[in-house]
Structures are given as structure tokens and as C-alpha cells.
């Protein structure tokens, strides 16, 4: 009887622990996330995000800076979220920069086609 | 009794924990936004082709957000997943746009190459046409084969009497010569001036020299290198007709263009 009760008690403790763990998942230091966020920013910069998407790029960089402070304060969960956001912000900034550059390239090549066509027409 | 209390205790701690995790709206604007962003691009063929990875990340995060919403999870968790889903969908959309633009670039590049080829073909064709035309012109200008080489005799159409400035009709004649020289880049010319015997010989000598130089300067202005043009004034020498008649004098007032051989050599005429 007594034994049974204590087992139930143990089950209760375990379920509490499991639920608590589910609620505040990953309290690990998000060093990997920090790295990938930083490399996402680097990649965005090399795509020309500083020129084409400075606001979004800046946002990503601010999130990384915030995350560093949160890590200092051992608020790993919130730091991790900031870093995940920073990564996708930076990726989007880079992707938009790529698109913008491609648009420019289309414009340039169309202009050169237009001027070639004019030259061809003139000569005929 | 004891057992019942224990069970109750467990149940309470369960519900407290659930409540601690969740403050539960059934709908969430951020999740809706993410879903809309995902739905907008999920069937876009450009996105499917080139933003596949981001598209599946978007789907995964969206599913997570929706599940968290159903479970009544903490709003910060729901909205975080929604944020990531939304961004992944946006990135996938950009990658799709980029792929579409890249295709435009590729096909435009092809069109440009075709045009360049066409232009080069046109230029070659035009060059052949012009070369043929120039030969016809040379014939029309009555360039003659002589012992000095090809000699083009320009009558007194170039200059007014006693003047050394080209008439406008003379200029177009010289232009044809310049075109010819552009066409045959190894050829050089000597411009020789001749007069009739009216007036002082020394004056005629000077006039013939100035006229030859005027023709050379005009050729140079038209882009012919100065080194390809010699000048010589012969004054009254080498008449081609009698100076006794006005018709003969008109024939003697002339400029002769002696065209070099292909190596650029010109036979000199001794005076």
C-alpha cells in the first residue's frame, strides 16, 4: 500500500519534470546558432545586402548583438530565438539582394540588346 | 484515501503546468500571416524548382506553429515558429523570383549573342558591298593603269580658278578617295597638282603645291594617316593636252592621284 503510493508519487514527479522540460526546451548555450547566424549575415553581406537591404540586415545584426547579451545573462532560450530570427532575417536580406542584382542585370542586358538592335536597324 | 490525494495532486500539477505554458488564443495573426505567405508561393513552379529547401523549412515551421497553437502553447513559442515560417516562405519566394530572373538573363544573353552575330554578318556584307561600290567608283572616276601605277585623274572639278580651297563637289570626290584608302589600308597615295600654262610659272608651281596639300589635309581630316599621303606640285609640267585651246587648258588643270602598290610603294615622276 505504502509502496504503491510512493510509486505514484514518483510518477507525478517525473511527469512534472517532463512537462517542465517541454516548456523550457533547450537551455543549452546556443553557440551553434550564434555561428550560423553570423555566417548567414556574412553571406548576406557578400550578396550585397548592405547596399540593397540595409534595414533588414541591420535588424539581423542587432538581434545577434542582443543574443550575445542574453547569452551573457544565461538567458539561452531567448538568445536562441533571437539567433534563429537573425538567421532568417539575414537570409532574406541576402536573397532580396540577389533578386535586386538580377533585376539590374536584366535591365542592363535588355538595354544593350536595344542598342544593338538600333545599330542593326541603322545599318540595314 | 492517501492514494486519491496523490492522484489529485498529480492532476493539479498537470493542469498548472499546462496553464503555465499556455495563454491560449485559438487564432493567431502571426500564424495566419505565415500561412498566407506559405500558401502564396507553395505552388509557384519557380519556387518549387529553386526554393525547395526553404519551402520545406517554411512548411515545417508552419506545422509547428499550428500544432503549438492547437496545444495552446506559450504565445511566444507559437509566434516564434510563425516568424520563422513566414521568413522561410519569403526567402523561398525570393529564390523563385531570382530563378525566374536568371532565366530571363540567360535567354536575353542568347538573344544578344544572336544580334551580335547578325550585326557582324551585316557589317561584313556591308563591307563587301562598299568595296564593290568603291571599285565601281574607281572605275567611274576613271582610274587608269599607267606605268606609274593606278592613276586617278581629277579634272578641274576640285577647285575654282586660282583657288586652293576645295569646292564642295571636290570634297565629296576626296571623300570617295578616303573611303577607298580606308578599304585598302596598305595603299598609299601621292597627290600631284598640275596647272595650265596661263600666268607665271612660279605662281603655277605654288598653286599646284597648295592644291595638292589641300587634298592631303582633307584626307587627313577624314581620318587618313598623314604618312599615307605624299604631295607634289608640278605646276605647268607634264601637260596632257595643248595649252593653246581652252579645252586643252582645262584638261591640264588637274590633280592626279597616284595609288601605290600593295606594299605602299609609289613610282616617282622625275621633273
pLDDT digits (tens, 9 = 90+) for A22-35: 444 447 899 999 99
Q: What is the per-residue pLDDT for A23? A: 43
pLDDT surpasses 80 at A53: yes
Mutate to test the interface with A, among B10, B38, B81 (most CBs of A within 10 A): B10
Nearest to B21 by CA among A19, A74, A81, A12: A19
pTM of the model: 0.57
Nearest to B104 among A9, A95, A106 (CB): A106
Chain B partners of A89 at a C-beta cutoff of 8 Å?
A: 87
Question: What is the rounded average pLDDT of the residues A82-91?
Answer: 98
Cβ–Cβ of A119/B119 closer than 8 Å?
yes
The three-state secondary structure class of B11 is helix
Q: At what angle do helices A31-46 and A54-72 cross, to 10 degrees?
A: 160
- Say if strands B229-233 and B189-194 run parallel, antiparallel, or are unpaired: parallel
Instruction: Give chain A positions within 8 Å (CB) of B95.
Output: 95
pLDDT in tens, chain B (271 residues): 455 555 555 554 554 444 444 444 578 999 999 999 999 999 999 999 888 999 999 999 999 999 999 999 999 999 999 999 999 999 999 999 999 999 999 999 999 999 999 888 888 888 788 677 667 766 766 677 777 878 888 877 778 778 888 888 788 888 888 988 887 888 899 999 999 999 999 999 999 999 999 999 999 999 999 999 999 999 999 999 999 998 899 889 999 999 887 778 887 776 5
CA distance B229 to B216: 6
Whether A72 has a pLDDT exceeding 60, the answer reads yes
Q: How far is B20 from chain A (nearest CA, A)?
A: 9
What CA–CA distance (Å, rounded) separates A75 from A68? 10
Question: Among partner residues B3, B83, B122, which is closest to A123 by beta-carbon distance?
Answer: B122
- Strand pairing class (B149-154; B189-194): unpaired
Q: CA A115, CA A70: separation in Å to the nearest integer?
A: 56
Predicted pLDDT at B22: 46
Q: Pick B91's closest partner by Cβ from A85, A91, A120.
A: A91
**How crowded is residue B261: how many other Cβ atoms within 10 Å of its Cβ?**
13
Domains of chain A: 26-123 (1.20.1270.390)
Look at B17 and A92 and tell me if their CB atoms are within 8 Å. no
d(CA A65, CA A73): 13
Q: Domain locations in chain B?
A: 21-135, 141-259
CATH of region B141-259: 3.30.1330.60
Q: Is the pLDDT of residue A65 over 60?
A: yes
Partner-chain contact B101 A89, CB within 8 Å: no
pLDDT digits (tens, 9 = 90+) for A100-123: 999 999 999 999 999 988 888 876
Q: How far apart are the first and last CA of chain B?
A: 145
User: Looking at chain B, which residue has its C-alpha nearest residue A25?
Assistant: B77
Nearest CA in chain B to A106: B105
Chain-chain contact of B13 with A103 (C-beta, under 8 angstroms) = no
Q: What is the DSSP string of A66-95?
A: HHHHHHHTT-HHHHHHHHHHHHHHHHHHHH
Residue found by looking up cell 605662281 in the block: B203
Q: Which of A86, A62, A64, A67 is nearest to A78 (CA)?
A: A67
Provide the 8-state DSSP code for A25: -
| First and final C-alpha spacing in chain A | 106
Higher-confidence residue: B133 or A3? B133
The predicted pLDDT at position B165 comes to 83
- Residue B5's pLDDT is 58
C-alpha span between B45 and B126 (Å, rounded): 46
- φ, ψ for residue A50 (rounded to 5)? -60, -35
Do residues A34 and A66 touch, judged by C-beta distance below 8 A?
A: no
Chain B, nearest residue to A3 by Cα: B3
Q: Do residue B87 and residue A91 have CB atoms under 8 angstroms apart?
A: yes
Cα–Cα distance, B213 to B32 (Å, whole number): 86
Amino acid at each position: 500500500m505504502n509502496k504503491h503510493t510512493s510509486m505514484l508519487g514518483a510518477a507525478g514527479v517525473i511527469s512534472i519534470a517532463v512537462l517542465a522540460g517541454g516548456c523550457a526546451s533547450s537551455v543549452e548555450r546556443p553557440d551553434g546558432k550564434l555561428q550560423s547566424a553570423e555566417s548567414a549575415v556574412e553571406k548576406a553581406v557578400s550578396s550585397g545586402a548592405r547596399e540593397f537591404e540595409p534595414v533588414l540586415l541591420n535588424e539581423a545584426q542587432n538581434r545577434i548583438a542582443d543574443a550575445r547579451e542574453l547569452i551573457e545573462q544565461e538567458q539561452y532560450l531567448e538568445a536562441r530565438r533571437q539567433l534563429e530570427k537573425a538567421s532568417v532575417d539575414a537570409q532574406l536580406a541576402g536573397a532580396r539582394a540577389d533578386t535586386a542584382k538580377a533585376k539590374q542585370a536584366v535591365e542592363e542586358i535588355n538595354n544593350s540588346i536595344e542598342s544593338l538592335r538600333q545599330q542593326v536597324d541603322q545599318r540595314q | 484515501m492517501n492514494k486519491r490525494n496523490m492522484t489529485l495532486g498529480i492532476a493539479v500539477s498537470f493542469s498548472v503546468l499546462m496553464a503555465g505554458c499556455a495563454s491560449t488564443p485559438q487564432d493567431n495573426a502571426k500564424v495566419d500571416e505565415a500561412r498566407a505567405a506559405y500558401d502564396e508561393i507553395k505552388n509557384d513552379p519557380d519556387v518549387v524548382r529553386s526554393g525547395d529547401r526553404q519551402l520545406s523549412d517554411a512548411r515545417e515551421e508552419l506545422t509547428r506553429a499550428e500544432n503549438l497553437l492547437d496545444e495552446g502553447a506559450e504565445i511566444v513559442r507559437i509566434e516564434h515558429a510563425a516568424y520563422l515560417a513566414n521568413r522561410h516562405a519569403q526567402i523561398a519566394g525570393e529564390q523563385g523570383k531570382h530563378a525566374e530572373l536568371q532565366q530571363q538573363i540567360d535567354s536575353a544573353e542568347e538573344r544578344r549573342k544572336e544580334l551580335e552575330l547578325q550585326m557582324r554578318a551585316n557589317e561584313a556584307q556591308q563591307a563587301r558591298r562598299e568595296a564593290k561600290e568603291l571599285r565601281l567608283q574607281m572605275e567611274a572616276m576613271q582610274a587608269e593603269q599607267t606605268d606609274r601605277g593606278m592613276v586617278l585623274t581629277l579634272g578641274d572639278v576640285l577647285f575654282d580658278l586660282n583657288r586652293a580651297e576645295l569646292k564642295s563637289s571636290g570634297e565629296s570626290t576626296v571623300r570617295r578617295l578616303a573611303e577607298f584608302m580606308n578599304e585598302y589600308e596598305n595603299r598609299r597615295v601621292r597627290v600631284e597638282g598640275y596647272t595650265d600654262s596661263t600666268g607665271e610659272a612660279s605662281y603655277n608651281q605654288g598653286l599646284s603645291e597648295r592644291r595638292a596639300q589641300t587634298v592631303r589635309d582633307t584626307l587627313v581630316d577624314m581620318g587618313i594617316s598623314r604618312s599615307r599621303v605624299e604631295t607634289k606640285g608640278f605646276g605647268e609640267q607634264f601637260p596632257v593636252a595643248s595649252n593653246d585651246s581652252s579645252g586643252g587648258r582645262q584638261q591640264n588643270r588637274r590633280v592626279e592621284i597616284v595609288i601605290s602598290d600593295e606594299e605602299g610603294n609609289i613610282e616617282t615622276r622625275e621633273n
